[in-house]
Amino acid sequence: MELRELLQRRRMVRSFDATPVDPEWLDALCAESLLAPSAGNSAGVRLYTLSRALVPDFFNAATDETWRQRSRRAAGLARCGAVVVVTSRPGDYTARYGEPDKASSGLDDIASWPLPYWHTDAAMVTMALLLLIEEGGWHATLWGNFRRGGDVLTLVGARDEELFCSVLIGRGDGHDVPSTSLARKVPPRRDRVRRVG
């Protein structure tokens, strides 16, 4: 499958049929996604895979009972076949940029980064993972890190890391609740490309 086709097909799916994802396949896919660019080859992104059996533990960590009761998507999301938790290690970046070949950058102090590339690298790995999942014939959605991130990090045993997001993976059951964001009027893609000069 060509990259353009993958980009056109890839959609966030938020209702799954509880089919388990093969853990060996998922681990290999996650390793492939780490081929994404890494600032200074800092290698500061980590991926934690949770099998179908651990999905309830993930939702207990990532949500609360109030959200689970009122969310129109809770049941469908909770039927995902696996979860990948994506984290980054800012200390790996400051250490790398303190090494002799990068020291002149002045980025050995976390406060000196105008843009925290550990988030950029995590985003690149996540996009690579989403495309690889699509190529593999599975579906996924991105679960943003908006609340209870500390509980998710504790669940996976992450240390000295920041939670970037989680990716829920499975087979869509056809009962997806469309995002209200899709109804927003946005400028066409070509209008968001600006040629300079």
* Residue 63: predicted pLDDT: 95
Structure token pair of residue 196: 């300079």
Instruction: Write down the pLDDT at residue 21.
Output: 98
Q: Would residue 181 count as lying in a domain?
A: no
E strand or H helix that includes residue 86: strand 82-88
The pLDDT score that the predictor gives to residue 162 is 96
Domain carrying residue 161:
3-176
**What CATH code is carried by the domain that includes residue 100?**
3.40.109.10
At residue 36 the predicted structure's pLDDT band, cuts being 50, 70 and 90, is very high
HSE-up of 29 (CA within 13 Å, CB side)?
Answer: 26
Classify residue 95 by burial, with Cβ atoms within 10 Å: 0-12, 13-18, 19+: middle
Convert the pLDDT of each residue in 70-81 to its tens digit. 999 999 999 999
Query: Residue 131 falls within a domain, yes or no?
Result: yes
pTM for this prediction = 0.94
88 assigned to some structural domain: yes
Domain membership of residue 185 (yes or no) is no
Number of structural domains found in the chain: 1
Helical axes 55-62 vs 149-156, angle rounded to 10°: 150
Which residues sit opposite 168 in a β-bridge? 83, 141
Are the beta carbons of 96 and 102 closer than 8 angstroms?
yes
Residue 197 is assigned to a structural domain of this protein? no
Q: Is residue 44 included in any domain, yes or no?
A: yes
